[in-house]
Structure 1
């Protein structure tokens, strides 16, 4: 299998670490497509994720944390859907996953990023409990009530808040709490 080296990550990672961000979000465009891009460095392997804005399409690729390489091949269904979103027909110049990754690599150079928030991920990682509740509103310590955090809540915590929050909640029997009311949203600080 061919691999693609994401050289721009070597510049992005120290900038993320300098501001203590382990899950970042930025946007870029290519041909007819506009994308939300996410870099998750709180997992091993790292994850580079893409959501096509307004297209109900999301996919992730693993990134080796040591070499910063990712497979230069996408699943067939991902590849064809990506070509469709980009407005590329099956005839004409050949478009490859490596060409897409090369564009992403260029887009990452000096990119202005921000911490990935649950509301950024919600349109793409919808397979969670109460997916309409995208605003974090606190933590619930289940030991005081004699209850246990549910697997579904832990999975939502992992997908939307990251690995550190997931591990801490699992170890301490804490549930993340969510609302659909933006006015009740709180800053996210790990419990």
Structure 2
């Protein structure tokens, strides 16, 4: 039986803003910055391989911008999920580290965007410093993602409790017919 503190971390602070019980919005929204930033690194590397790298360098810059906007949206609902976790717990401390790393990564990508956008914007292959900053930022994002996974899969933050989960494992022939009762 989950403790009262565990139950608190499973319930949304605001179902409207953070997603209803068992369906948090944060894991859905994080796919935007992750995908955009992985794509930007692929474009960065490819800009060193092709003969006309301008379009890849510009594409990478705008993928970074999309990722920053997506990260800010994910951070807002993620912060609401953090508020659901009791403060004097290991899960809360991990949540704080997860949030801090994500904010640092977002700031690094925002800086990388501004660096690339300076002047007339990219006009050749992505610079080595910009490429390294993107790669390091993505690695830190991976560490933060591991911690986010630990919050959800190890500690069950914003995950439906075991009794609710068990409903999905009742064999079909033993479930009551919803039409008749």
Higher strand share: 1
Query: Do both proteins adopt the same fold according to a TM-score greater than 0.5, normalized to the shorter chain?
Result: no
In the superposition, the TM-score normalised over structure 2's length comes to: 0.22
Rg larger for: 2
How does the TM-score come out when normalised to structure 1? 0.21
Which structure has the highest helix share of the two?
2
Where relative contact order (Cα < 8 A, 6+ residues apart) is larger, the structure is 2
